[in-house]
Amino acid sequence: MPELRQNVATKEWVIIATDRARRPADFADLKRPFTHSRPARVSSCPFCPGNETSSAPPVLEVRTEAGWDLRVVPNKFPALSNGAEVERSFEGISRRMSGFGVHEVLIESPRHNKTSGLLKDDEVARTLRAMRDRGRELARDPRLMMTIYFKNHGSAAGTSLEHPHCQMISLPVVPHQIRQRLGDAMAYFDETGNCVYCDMVRQELEAGSRVVVEGEHFVAFLPFAALSPFHLWILPRRHMPIFTQASDKELASLASVLRETLARLYFGLGDPDFNYVIRSAPSHEERSRSFHWYLSIVPKVSENAGFELGSGMFINTALPEESAAFLRAVSLPM
C-alpha cells in the first residue's frame, strides 16, 4: 500500500508510491558514457589548463610546482553583480531590489574527466575548504546575508560545462525557503528543547536502515521521507548552524563521506546527473541552537510533473530503505 511520510525537519509530506515502486537497480543507466571516459583535457574548455585567460583573474588559487590544482574565479555570466549598489523600491505590491550579489565558480580540478566521486579524499577536502574560506571572506561584507554553495553535474542538473566545478552565490536577502526552515526548526526546538537535525542524526544512526556512509564527524543517509529516489542528506554530528563554522578536521571527514557517497551513486547508478547543495543558516544565525547545516544530494533519476507543481508534494517511487541498502552494497574500485 502507498503511504505518506513527513520530514519532521522540513514539514514536507512525500508520497511513497509502493504500488509504483521500482527496484533500486532499475534507476541505473550503465550504458551512458561515464565521466571518466572523457579526455583529461579539452582544448575548447575554458576551465582546462592553458585556457586560464578565458576567465577573470582568480580570487583564490591553490598551486603546486606542476601548476594549479584549484581555482575560484568570478562567474563570467553572473546571476548577480557585485558592482551594483543595494537599493530597494516599494510601489504598491511591486517590490524591487538592485541585483547586488557575488557569483563565483570553483574549478575543482585541472582534469576534465573527473567528478567529485572520482577524486581523492584530500582533493574533495580542498574544494570544501575553498568554499568555506570564500564563505568566510564574503560574510565580512555587511551587505551580504548568506551564501548558497552548490554543484550541478550533468545536463539534467543544469550544468552547461562538463569540467568539474561548483558555484557560490552570495545574496543580500535570505530566501523564503531558508526562512521557512529556520522557523520550522525553531518551532521544533520550542516544543522539544532539541535541534531537530541533531535528533534526526541520532535516530537515523539508531535505525541504521537508511544510513549509507558513516564518518567520524558526518553521516550520509536517505531521509525517512526522501523527496525523490536516492535523495540523500549528509549531516555533521556536531551541532553547527553555519557551514563556515566547520574545522579543517571536520571538512576532511565530510570529504571522505561525500566522496564515497558520490562514488556509490556513480558506480551504482551509472554516473547519474545530480545536484548537491549545502543548506546553511544565514551569517547572523551563527549561535542558533535550533538550525543545523547539512549537504543535500539530489540525483536526477526521476522527473517532476503536474502533481508536484500543483501540490508542492513529491511522489517517490523508490523506498528509501531499499535505496540505502542498494548503495551500501555497491562495489567500489580500490
Across the range 301-327, mean pLDDT stands at 89
- Domain at 3-328, CATH class: alpha beta
Each residue's pLDDT tens digit, 27-43: 888 888 999 999 999 99
What are residue 148's DSSP bridge partners?
Answer: 169
* 18 pLDDT above the threshold of 80: no
Question: Which residue in this structure is represented by grid cell 522540513?
Answer: 10
For the chain, the structural domain boundaries read 3-328
pLDDT in tens, 101-147: 999 999 999 999 999 999 999 999 999 999 999 999 999 999 999 99
Q: Is the pLDDT of residue 310 over 80?
A: yes
The C-alpha cell at 170 is 552570495
pLDDT for residue 197 is more than 90:
yes
- Res. 21: pLDDT tops 70: no
d(CA 216, CA 203): 17
Containing 45, the helix (H) or strand (E) segment is none
Residue 260 has pLDDT above 70, yes or no: yes
**What is the distance between the alpha carbons of residues 131 and 119, in angstroms, rounded to a whole number?**
17
CA 309-146-121 angle, to 5 degrees, is 90
- Over residues 61-86, the pLDDT tens digits come to 999 988 999 999 999 999 998 887 78
Mean of per-residue pLDDT scores for the chain: 94
Task: Of 83, 110, 116, 119, give the one whose Cα is nearest residue 98.
Answer: 83
Residue 290 pLDDT > 70, yes or no?
yes
The string over 189-222, giving b where at least 16 C-beta atoms fall within 10 Å of a residue's C-beta and e elsewhere, is beeeeebbbbebbeebeeeeebbbbebebbbbbb
Tens of pLDDT along 132-145?
Answer: 999 999 999 999 99
Per-residue pLDDT, 85: 79
Question: Catalytic site residues?
Answer: 165
